[in-house]
Amino acid sequence: MCPTRSANLVSSGGQAKAPCKTADFLLRAFRIPAELREGFIAGEDISIMGDIRFEFSVEKLINAIALFFDRGVSDLTKLKIAKLLYFADKKHLLSYGSPILGDVYWCMNLGPVPSFALNEMSEAIDRSEGSAEEDSDYSVMSRVLRVRKRFFSYPHFEAKQPHDPSIFSQTELAVLDSIVAEYGRKSALDLVNLTHKEPTWFIANKDRRPGGRAPIPYELFFEGAPESSRRHLARLKADFSGEAIPLAGDREYSEFAASLIGSQFDSDFDLDSDQLRKREILR
């Protein structure tokens, strides 16, 4: 079965598959970024990414970059865009229960990395506009964005045409605008330093080998968040894994959690050992 943008390249037991030439070919064929590919081949434990996962949207990536440009954000390098996207995804996830892009995040030296967005931006930088297949992601991106390459500076993105607001919900547009207002004037290095203060990064970083990477599950985005945000986490965990997270002071959800814990699942519905242990703790 071919891996997709939300698939795990791991065994059913959660362990990384043995390195092999076939794995290397698949990783290249499915355009896993070079920055991440080494860890797959080296046999890292890459069991992505907790229970909560979302579908990545390349259209939202393209139009988010165009929106940043339209709003006057300067120096839109790959690094700066990645940090702005992280803050936007986190804010929308904590406020409304879903990220904007739905990317897969990794902890790396320069902070949290949205891996599929990084891949798309890297391809746009590396390829010429005349080499794209008509229906490829790069072809779609090149119709909206261009890459400016200058001596003695990193490539940066500009919009050829205005962003399409219909791609986003009203809450997503509001969050993107708030991220521009809060972070748009900061340099990429400033944003990297800010992400290094985020629990999302420094907790995941404890498991990262020097120079390597570690997965960032979406559960970590909620670390230290207020209870109003953790309600979204509780409902996501219930939706994705059937796990009930008790929330102090939330009677409505506490009743929902109690009913979920007491539910009798069908015989062919298997909980893993960790989920069974948590259900026993919560009884």
pLDDT tens readout for residues 163-205: 999 999 999 999 999 999 999 999 999 999 999 999 999 999 9
Q: What is the pLDDT of residue 249?
A: 59
Report pLDDT digits (tens) over 54-72. Answer: 999 999 999 999 999 999 9
Residue 274's pLDDT is 54
Residue 266's pLDDT is 46
pLDDT of 229 reads 93
pLDDT at 198: 96
The vertex-57 CA angle with 78 and 38, nearest 5°, equals 55
Query: What's the pLDDT at 166?
Result: 97
Q: How large is the average pLDDT for residues 261-276? A: 49
Domain boundaries, the chain: 1-47, 58-219, 242-282
Asked if residue 150 has pLDDT above 50, the reply is yes
Q: Quick one: tokens of 192?
A: 């990297």
| Residue 11 CB coordination number (10 Å) | 11
Q: What mean pLDDT do residues 77-95 have?
A: 98
Q: Is the peptide bond before 49 cis (omega within 30 degrees of 0)?
A: yes
Question: What is the Cα–Cα distance from 203 to 24, expressed in whole angstroms?
Answer: 29
Spatial contact of 60 and 163, defined as CB atoms under 8 Å apart: no
pLDDT digit string, tens, across residues 102-139: 999 999 999 999 999 999 999 999 875 555 566 678 88
pLDDT tens profile 216-249: 999 999 999 998 899 999 889 888 877 766 665 5
pLDDT number for residue 137: 80
Return the pLDDT at 28: 46
Q: Is pLDDT at 82 greater than 90 in this prediction?
A: yes
Tokens of 238: 């219930």
- Per-residue model confidence (pLDDT) at position 16: 35
What confidence category does residue 153 fall into, taking pLDDT thresholds of 50, 70 and 90? confident
**Bridge partners of residue 156, in order along the sequence:** 77, 148
Q: What is the pTM of this model?
A: 0.73
Sheet of 214-216, strands arranged across: 111-114, 105-108, 214-216
Cα–Cα distance measured from residue 243 to residue 235, given in angstroms and rounded to the nearest whole number: 9
Q: What is the pLDDT of residue 178?
A: 98
What is the average pLDDT across 86-91?
Answer: 98
- pLDDT at position 131 is 55
Say yes or no to pLDDT of 92 above 80.
yes
pLDDT (0 to 100) of residue 190: 98
Q: What is the pLDDT of residue 253?
A: 58
Query: Which tens digit of pLDDT belongs to each residue from 16-53?
Result: 333 334 334 334 433 444 544 444 444 444 444 578 99
